Amino acid sequence: MKKERGLFMFKRFLMVLLTMIVAIVAVLIAANNTTGETISFDEPVLFWIGLGTIILFFLPSLFLSFFSNNGARITSIIFQSFIALSFLGLIPAGALDPNGGVWASIIGIVGTIVSICSIAVTFFVGKNNANGQ
């Protein structure tokens, strides 16, 4: 029983971590294809601040993935919903960019799919075993 809870926790943690990796890739793509006043590799301090902000934004969901009770899972789902909406907003933003926004749209689509899968895993995996039942 305890081994099953650890496996459920690992699945939730892995999905949130995968979503964070997709968000970091999105920042790297944005820095590589910079247009105007956005993040770029030319200003490394702002680039690292942007990456740090993303990691800080994901920390609550990563931390909450270790817990199986319903309150922690619902709170994690709320955090992940904001992330999914951010990726969803990246799709039209990339499509409207005349300077190579195709990659931004692709990473937005991938990020949205991974985020929705992460929300589903957080919601459904281990639901019957929550609170030690």
Which residues have CB under 8 Å from 56's CB, separation 6+? none
Residue 13 sits at the vertex; the CA angle it makes with 3 and 40, to the nearest 5 degrees, is 160
Q: What is the pTM of this model?
A: 0.82
Residue 131 sits at the vertex; the CA angle it makes with 129 and 133, to the nearest 5 degrees, is 50
Give residue 69's identity as a one-letter amino acid code.
Answer: N
Angstrom distances, CA of residue 5 to CA of 58, 102, 133: 22, 40, 11
First to last CA, the chain: 10
Cβ atoms of 80 and 16 closer than 8 Å: yes
Question: What confidence score (pLDDT) does residue 133 get?
Answer: 45
Per-residue tens of pLDDT for the chain, all 133 residues: 555 566 777 888 898 999 999 999 988 888 877 666 677 778 888 889 989 999 999 999 899 888 888 888 899 899 999 999 999 998 888 788 776 678 888 899 999 999 999 999 888 876 665 444 4
